[in-house]
Structure 1
Amino acid sequence: MTNYATMEELSEKMRLANEAAHLPGSAKGYEKLKADGRLNARERLDVLLDPGSFVELGRLAQSTQHEFGMDKKKVLGDGIIIGHGTIDGRMVCVYSEDGTVLGGSVGVFHGRMMTEITDLAIKCGVPIINLMDSPGARIQEALGEVYGPPNIFYQNVRASGVVPQISAIFGNVAGLVIYSAALTDFIFMVDQTSHALITGPEVIRTISGEDITMEDLAGASVHGEKTGIADYVATDEVDCLLAVRRLVSFLPANNVEGPRRVETQDDPYRPMTNAGDLVPVDPGLAFDMRDLVAEFVDNEDFFEIEPDFAGELTIGFGRLAGTTVGIFANNPLHLAGSLTVDSSDKFARFMRFCDAFNIPCILFVDVPGYFPGIDQEHRGIINHGAKVLYALCEATVPKISIVVRKCYGGGMLAMGGHKSLRIDQAFGWPTAELATMGAEAAVNVLYGADIRAASDPEQRRLELLQEYREEHSNPVRAANKRFLDDVISPAETRARVVRALELLSRKKDDPLPAKKHGNIPL
């Protein structure tokens, strides 16, 4: 007769297994994290998700590999925690890698669980959040299974434009994991403790002889300021995870939903009483466009994306009448607001995200054009600048532009300074100047001989400059030609845009010609 264990005995066995899987890494590893002021994989989930909302999947997964001594290194969960929970009551899928388990390396089951939770997010139409703490593939299992770790790239591409994908980098993240992060929509990093790289300092020193520290090569500040890979650089891990929560609050769950809407208690038609004082009338004087954006959005709540990269363009999420909008604004504090190789990429990627997830786009224009120079030309400003035009023309979401001051040349087209590139409504302030080039340059080109022949060349130049501005580059003339829908006061900007969106929320754009996909200039 078979002796079956009792339910209590079986339940106790399962309890012990689950307990072993809770924090399967080494105690020394967890102690080091704590000493460094960092969180472990489960603590990160506790900060990210609403209390008590996390439901874990795959807790008892375990590697089946036996080669290279892996049969003696099996750990429950295989170094990753996956599941679903809520952020402000809204469902998300998530995985959190445990860098203390086998160094955080991605084995077959670890990679499979990354893939499975991403696939589940796609099927259920919810955001996927990746808390990454891995140096890449586990060498001992690199060829363990055809559909192992690299399959995450396929799932990232499937999810792109379907559900928001957010990655947060903790520790040294490299190899296939960092490539997966690069395929997601937003990347968050932590100053001094996050590093994102393909090749480490030792390999670089061996191959090229270049000597560099890990922080200078791959730190959060490098990716926040130089490469643009980091969309947000946090002061510590808690700040990072709370910032992810804040970002999620602006986003829809998927590409079928409309833009996210919440109650903000801010009067939709509130006059922007300080707007006129924030912006100098003289187009040659700089100001911080972020001050204007803050007054424009609900409750001054603006979530800036890539704030330290390509500062000549400010992008991010805000709300109008409670509805999420994407903000694109030239910032004259940097390069007079000119578009560059970097800011062109910044613009195009953000515009395509907003369009994919039905988020209306608001453009504040103060642009003298594309930034001139040998460096920009040799870095490929032609291709990069074309990305802006492609993204703007491709987008079918509501697009509204406000020409604040300068709106010259190619920058006029790129920033939606007038209606020709599928801009739904375009407004100009009284300070707006729309022209092929700035008034000063235009006068020098058009009236150079006249100025030189005058008895007082400087006085004649100023007279012609005033005449040119009044007759040729003023916003009323642009409105006469239907480049602009209206010339509005700074104070009424918010109300006019809100009323425009009330109409455009019903917009049904003409479909693009049938095709597999376009070929954006990369």
Structure 2
Amino acid sequence: MRELTAENAELKRAIVAGDRAAVRRQRDLGKHLARERLAMLLDEDSFTELEIHRRHQSQGPKLDERRPFTDGVIIGSGTIEGRRVFVYAQDFTVFGGSLGAAHAAKIQKVLDLATKTGSPIIGLVDSGGARIQEGVQALDGYGGIFRRQVAASGMIPQISVVLGPSAGGAAYSPALADFTFMVRDTARLYLTGPDVVEAVSGERVSHEELGGATVHGERSGVATVVHADEGDCLADVRYLVSLLPSNNMEPAPVTAVRGASRDMRPRLAEIVPAEPNRPYDMKAVIGELVDDGEFFEVHEDWARNVVCALARVDGEVVGVVGNQPMVLAGVLDRRAAQKAARFVRFCDAFGIPLVTLVDVPGFLPGTEQEHEGVIRHGAQLLYAYCEATVPRIQVVLRKAYGGAYIVMDSRSVGSDLSLAWPTNQIAVMGAEAAVNVLYAKEKPAGDPDRARLLAEDYAERFLHSRYAAERGLVDDIIDPATTRASIARGLVMLRGKREPRPRRKHGNIPL
């Protein structure tokens, strides 16, 4: 941080933090100060602060006598592993980090600079919400921030790190970001607080139960990543940035080639059982396919029946989507479809190739799923893949049944390269279910031996591993041990892919 030898004592205090009582409260909550967080996030001595002298110009109770420098938000630019990023960090020790006109103008400025320079924007959120004394000016300030976030969407990566409260309209900023990090026990994210909920509905609920990190990480899906403490959280943000392109016109950072095109992984055949109904951990498969076994998983605790992760294959960043047989047998449901669709759209927006690992028995049946819109959410995933123009590789490990096969980046929706293991079964449904439909009048279930023979005959005719390949829907049937090598070669083959689209303002995704 630069020295300010000629500035007055008030300005120097602003650089440190707010008043002592407010600093003590932050410490008691186990929270770091805004400048400490920036030091943890950015490369050493890389931060250049902007508009440190700005103060609010409003009148009102508790405002007239206090016009602190920074107005409760620190903005500027720094580097992460040498790459330029723009940041803002709300300072809860100044007006509780509340947002007024000056505060909003600073965030808007840094969003504009990030967009103009094609750099990621990272917001460290710790705010009591709109500054009540500034009334509609605060609401107008939020609107200006949201408009800029939407304009920058798909152009620069947007990362929101919730390290304290973010209530009311402020909650929309993390929701608009590409990635939202939250810290357990201290992060809060909701539109209406517990007091309002109780006044309106009579329901008593704590801040944590209403909008804590666990809620948004496991139930709502608002939180992309949840951490136990600020240090681990900010370190993970740095790791994420290392995987992302600076903007949609630049490629993601590439590391050294690892010889993946010749890398055999015999353990894959041990991880995945040949029997189609036996579970296994798709994350273990991903670990075998990517460089150093490392990947950045998004929404780890939400919609766990599908895995979405960023990783590298032979030094190149890829997005991986895979069904998770360990959870609900890997079926797709409305949440899984929505989770995967958003991830696919992010990867496509920023030119990140997609690798889809398929082992899916279908969509989850039931009235709850149908009534909650599984058709609409499934259509979102279908839309996302159909719209994607990045290189796309599909690998069918075992079963791929019905509409779920189609939406998991099948050849019919535009997959560039479709590979399958010898254990693949691509069909409308499994053998037993097919027999029950085809021979419904004969009631085969009443004769187990006949039902078994019919199922075996159906499987031999329609579920054998070559069925899809013989019809041109699979490019190659590969030895599981060669999967990493085949993906690496496929990525090289598809590098430079161009897929023009018809002119239109935008499509109408079934949200």
Number of paired residues? 508
The answer as to whether partners of 1:54 and 1:86 remain within 8 angstroms in 2 is yes
CA deviation map 1:478-498 (0-9, x unaligned): 000011001111100111111
Match of 2:188, as an amino acid? H
Q: CA separation of 1:224/1:392 partners in 2, compared to 1, >3 Å: closer, same or farther? A: same
1:155 aligns with 2:148: yes
2:421 counterpart residue number: 429
The answer as to whether partners of 2:131 and 2:138 remain within 8 angstroms in 1 is no
Out of 450, 459, 468, the position equivalent to 1:469 is 459
1:521 aligns with 2:503: no
Q: CA separation of 1:266/1:517 partners in 2, compared to 1, >3 Å: closer, same or farther? A: same
CA deviation map 1:386-428 (0-9, x unaligned): 1011001000001110001110000010102x31111100011
For residues 460 and 185 of structure 1, the distance between their equivalents in structure 2, rounded to whole angstroms, comes to: 53
| TM-score normalised over the length of structure 2 | 0.96
Q: Gaps spanning 5+ residues in structure 1: where?
A: 1-10
1:496 counterpart residue number: 486
Match of 1:514, as an amino acid? R
Out of 338, 342, 351, the position equivalent to 1:345 is 338
1:88 counterpart residue number: 81
- Displacement, 1:461? 2.3
1:354 aligns with 2:347: yes
For residues 448 and 67 of structure 1, the distance between their equivalents in structure 2, rounded to whole angstroms, comes to: 76
1:485 counterpart residue number: 475
CA deviation map 1:317-343 (0-9, x unaligned): 010010110000000111111111111
- Displacement, 1:447? 3.6
Match of 2:451, as an amino acid? R
1:259 counterpart residue number: 252
For residues 260 and 439 of structure 1, the distance between their equivalents in structure 2, rounded to whole angstroms, comes to: 45
Out of 386, 390, 399, the position equivalent to 1:393 is 386
Percent sequence identity is: 44
Match of 1:278, as an amino acid? I
- Displacement, 1:68? 3.3
1:7 counterpart residue number: none
- Displacement, 1:360? 0.3
Matches within 5 A, 1:114-133: 114-133=107-126
1:336 counterpart residue number: 329
- Displacement, 1:464? 2.5
For residues 168 and 258 of structure 1, the distance between their equivalents in structure 2, rounded to whole angstroms, comes to: 24
For residues 467 and 115 of structure 1, the distance between their equivalents in structure 2, rounded to whole angstroms, comes to: 65
| TM-score normalised over the length of structure 1 | 0.94
Match of 2:266, as an amino acid? T
Q: Gaps spanning 5+ residues in structure 2: where?
A: none
- Displacement, 1:36? 2.7
1:309 aligns with 2:305: no
SS of the counterpart of 1:96? strand
1:213 aligns with 2:206: yes
Match of 1:80, as an amino acid? V
- Displacement, 1:12? 4.9
Match of 1:156, as an amino acid? Q
Matches within 5 A, 1:275-286: 275-286=268-279
For residues 102 and 295 of structure 2, the distance between their equivalents in structure 1, rounded to whole angstroms, comes to: 40
1:512 aligns with 2:504: no
- RMSD over aligned CA atoms reads 1.7
For residues 258 and 422 of structure 2, the distance between their equivalents in structure 1, rounded to whole angstroms, comes to: 30
CA deviation map 1:352-393 (0-9, x unaligned): 000000000000001111110111011011111110110010
For residues 68 and 301 of structure 1, the distance between their equivalents in structure 2, rounded to whole angstroms, comes to: 53
CA deviation map 1:11-59 (0-9, x unaligned): 8542645413203412122122223322110110011001111111111
SS of the counterpart of 1:77? helix
